[in-house]
Every structure is written in C-alpha cells, then in structure tokens.
Structure 1
C-alpha cells in the first residue's frame, strides 16, 4: 500500500510540474492594434517649426526595442484657449510594447482655422 501511495504522489507531482512548465513557456499574443488617438490639444495659431534635437543614446534594455519620440510644441493657456502660448516639450525614448509594434509620431494638423495636436501612438 505504501508503494502505491508513493507512486501516486510521484505521478501527481510530475503532472503538476509538467503543467507548471507549460504555463511558463506560454506567451501572450500582442493585443489588437489600437485606433489612432483623437486630437488632444487645439491651438488657434500655427505652432513654430520643431527645434533641432540631439538624440541621446538608447537606454539599456534586454532587447533594445526603443523608438525615438521627437519633441514638439505644446499649447498652453490659463483661462482663455485663444490666449496662450507654445512651450517646447523635448523628445524621449519610448519602449516598444511588442516586437511587431510600429510607432507613429505625433503631429499638428490644421482643421477649421485651428491647429490640433494628435499625440504619438503604437499600432
């Protein structure tokens, strides 16, 4: 009887270890692409041309999947959206969430006499 219990216990432990090992190897698939974000900032005047930036070295990472997100002008105001000013937001490195992800830079676009900033995003 003792031998049967020992063999049974060993079989249960082996099955549990095998199942645990299979779970550790499983990788999740990347999520479906996100839709392009909407306009986040609206300015009544055209932004200045972008500044020239010196791109620093990529940060250390196990796989080095970083993309440079260039700097841009941000429109800021206190009480009146028509009475504001642009301030420079420096660029920075953004980490790629999945190896197949593609970065799209943010941009200012003119629509109906206003300029809209759409932030960068992964797709």
Structure 2
C-alpha cells in the first residue's frame, strides 16, 4: 500500500484519510522499487494535482488506484480505480472488502492515518 501524501484543500482541512500505508511518497516523487507483487496506490484529488497524475501515470502491471478525493477524469484503462466518493468509514469498509476479496492482506495500522 503506497500513499501519495498531499495537503488537504481548505474545505476538507487536516483530517485522516486512506488505509494504513506501507510506503508514503510526496506528490511527484517516483514510486519506490517495490517487490513484484500487486500494488495499491491511494491518492486524493489526483485530477487537481498534475504532480499526483504523473505518479499515477507510472503505475503498470498488477496495480489498483484508490481515489479518496472527489474523482475527476481518468484516462488510464490499464489500471483499475476505486472511487469511494471521499473518505468515510463506510468507504473504508467497502474499499477494504474489495481489496481483501482480490487477495490484499493488510499488515499494519488501524485503518486510519493522520
């Protein structure tokens, strides 16, 4: 689980979002070398941040994108995207269930991060 850590917009403020990450990268940073395993990358408002879009564009292979912000245009049919329409406890439960059914096994944290 990789989180692309972005600042919140003024309407949302500093609130927890996303599932517990194994790796956190800054927007625009390249993704780290990771084991050859399925990759989950979580972002928020990727369509509003070109530097996040560049990171998302690097995704290849067995990967899925979780967009915790309000989803915008998405032009990469090669990487599936989950869009829970913002961060909420029901959204976390739904995303967690979808990922678990696909074989993801969370190993850290409580499901919230700050």
Regarding TM over 0.5, the answer is no
Q: TM-score, normalised by structure 2?
A: 0.24
**Relative to total residues, which structure has the larger strand share, 1 or 2?**
1
Larger Rg: 1
